[in-house]
Structure 1
Amino acid sequence: MQVFVKAVDLGSFRAAADALGLSAQGVGKHVQALEHHLGMPLLVRTTRRQSLTDFGHDYLERARLILAELADAEQLAAQRRGVPSGRLRINAPVSFGVHALSPRLPEYMRTHPQVAVELTLANRTVDLVEEGLDVAFRVGVLLDSGLVARALAPYRLAVCAAPAYLAGRAPLHTPWDLALHDCLGFAHSELLTHWSFDGPDGAHVKVAVSSRHRFDQGEALLHAALAGLGIVLQPMELLAPALAEGRLVELLQGWRVPTRPLHLVHAGGRHITPALRSFIDFAVKAFGHDGA
């Protein structure tokens, strides 16, 4: 039944054979054996193409349901054994996902080969239940009290600009000097209009910034900053390579951008599968206070 569905989905015995590690002849024998068992033809085959019979159409839909139920039953058995398996749907903000999570994720995937990882990146706040997600990384203050949250190491940010932008511009000594400069706005947070700093004397200040250019992705902000279009405030993971190469310069020495909270969240009131538990343990080790 699995061979038959795969042959239909991929359009040929050869493609199904490659996917299943069989020969094309072996795939044909499986389908013929199934047809013999059912006493009805499933496929009409010519030298160039194959098509489903009317019975084949009806049988295909029922076969998909049976195989899905079988997969669920096997996953249940794996859960009872405590082996992480099944599909794990993860969401993260774009910059964190690209520059922090993605480089570490293969480590988790190699350790848990029976888990099928599905990663989506978005800067908007996603609804885990509505979008069928198992777990998400959240940067900033948590607003949804219905989620179970695990605190990770705080998210570090920095204020930078390209040397080409700074040449001939008014000097920057305090955050209030930003009013004389072009700041690149991040469209998905209050960083669009206000930037906060902790001063050398311990004082916390928030200053208004002017954002003539606005972007909803950290990578776009980085490219604009490298092109000398303004000052950028973004996560250190995104900025670190350009800072190390001297293509960006960190500004306002003596003033520190406050870290932002970073949490791993999942929906409450449901069973934590071995796959979810294994990923929570991985994330805490990789991005917790000791691992970050």
Structure 2
Amino acid sequence: MDRITSMAVYVRAANLGSFAAAADAMGISPQMVSKHIRFLEDRVGATLIHRTTRRQDLTDTGRAFYERCKVILAETEAAENLAVDMHRHPSGLLRVNAPRTFGGLALPPVVSAFLDRYPDVQVELTLDDRFVDPVEEGYDVTIRIGAPANAGLSSVPLGFYHLVVCAAPAYLARHGYPETPEKLSEHQCLIFGQRAGNTLCRWTFARDGRSHEVRVDGRLFSNDWRVLMHAALEGRAIAFGAEAILREELKAGRLVRLFEDYETPKRPVHALYLASRKPAARVLRFVESLEAAFAPKA
């Protein structure tokens, strides 16, 4: 039998003064009340209640045991209430992992707004482009670009990591608009990554169902998109970056999108979290914040 349940029955019987009253209050039979009491007495090796046909009295051991049972039951209820509250009210440490560029440029406003909304939550945001096993490494939420492959994880789509071509108005005023992607060979471009010898970078475009690559070159290469973003905003060259990290600059007109009638590469973005029966509230609310910020609007 369950000790906590038996303790609850024992305390109720002691409070009400009879097995029958305890049985009626708890919705069980008097015989079951008696079984719970005998179970506890067998465990402690002592009589807890003197029972006669007319009355019942706690023994000295029974009175001491009764007081400790009340403490244990109160602590058990407090622990259960705490667990329920943590699932209902976001609190505690939320560990998030995301790719470097997306996490460094697109996530900060979402994280800041989340922290403002839920003051009892702490966020640890780790940026990493390597494959991360969220279960093994203890992450509550991971954001991944590409098709999710992790079994046992819930997956929430956050739209697409869609690459777009753009430039600052100042650059276009000085150098003109390239009329087609092929004209990019006549312009300075910002290259994400490292230059490999004399190999030119290739940007991919599609139109009318046909895909083709365009060779581009430039004077600035970097594996950190913040460097390229700064250079693009200064009007130094044309950029090819994710719409999710350029959205505010495009909306404000600080950058202008080019070749809108061409298709450019895009990959799905997902938020992943452990598929447990009752995820913590901080996990669910953060995933909802990601959906609100990035998922396509119907």
- Could you state the TM-score of these two structures normalised by the residue count of structure 2? 0.57
List per-residue Cα deviations over 1:70-119 (Å, max 9, x = no partner). xxxx8875334433332111123344335543223344334433322222
User: 2: CA distance between counterparts of 1:276 and 1:196?
Assistant: 37
User: 1: CA distance between counterparts of 2:133 and 2:278?
Assistant: 18
- Residue 79 (str. 1) matches residue 96 (str. 2): no
Q: CA deviation at 1:283?
A: 2.5
List per-residue Cα deviations over 1:253-288 (Å, max 9, x = no partner). 422324331110135679733332332233334432
**Aligned alpha-carbon RMSD (Å):** 3.7
Q: Rg bigger for which structure?
A: 2
- Paired residues of 1:75 and 1:85 also in contact (CA < 8 A): no
- Residue 151 (str. 1) matches residue 151 (str. 2): no
- Paired residues of 1:137 and 1:263 also in contact (CA < 8 A): yes
Structure 1 residues 271 and 195, CA gap change in structure 2 (3 angstroms): farther
1:225 to 220, 232, 236: 232
User: 2: CA distance between counterparts of 1:289 and 1:248?
Assistant: 22
1:250 to 254, 257, 260: 257
Q: Which runs of 5+ in 2 are unaligned?
A: 1-77, 195-199
Superposed counterparts of 1:9-158, under 5 Å: 78-81=82-85, 82-83=87-88, 84-142=90-148, 144=150, 147-158=153-164
List per-residue Cα deviations over 1:97-148 (Å, max 9, x = no partner). 3554322334433443332222233445444345432112222344555654
- Paired residues of 1:136 and 1:266 also in contact (CA < 8 A): yes
Give the corresponding residue for 1:280: 287
AA partner of residue 278 (structure 1): R
Structure 1 residues 241 and 286, CA gap change in structure 2 (3 angstroms): closer
Percent identity over the alignment?
Answer: 38
- Residue 215 (str. 1) matches residue 222 (str. 2): yes
- For 1:154, what is the secondary structure of its paired residue? strand
Structure 1 or 2: more strand by fraction: 2
- Residue 172 (str. 1) matches residue 193 (str. 2): no
Q: Which runs of 5+ in 1 are unaligned?
A: 1-73
Structure 1 residues 76 and 256, CA gap change in structure 2 (3 angstroms): farther
Give the corresponding residue for 1:195: 203
List per-residue Cα deviations over 1:154-197 (Å, max 9, x = no partner). 23432112355456758623323333443322239xxx943222
- Paired residues of 1:193 and 1:211 also in contact (CA < 8 A): no
Q: CA deviation at 1:224?
A: 2.0
Structure 1 residues 232 and 141, CA gap change in structure 2 (3 angstroms): farther
User: 2: CA distance between counterparts of 1:145 and 1:223?
Assistant: 39
Structure 1 residues 182 and 144, CA gap change in structure 2 (3 angstroms): farther
Q: CA deviation at 1:232?
A: 0.8
- Paired residues of 1:160 and 1:251 also in contact (CA < 8 A): yes
- For 2:178, what is the secondary structure of its paired residue? coil
List per-residue Cα deviations over 1:45-68 (Å, max 9, x = no partner). xxxxxxxxxxxxxxxxxxxxxxxx
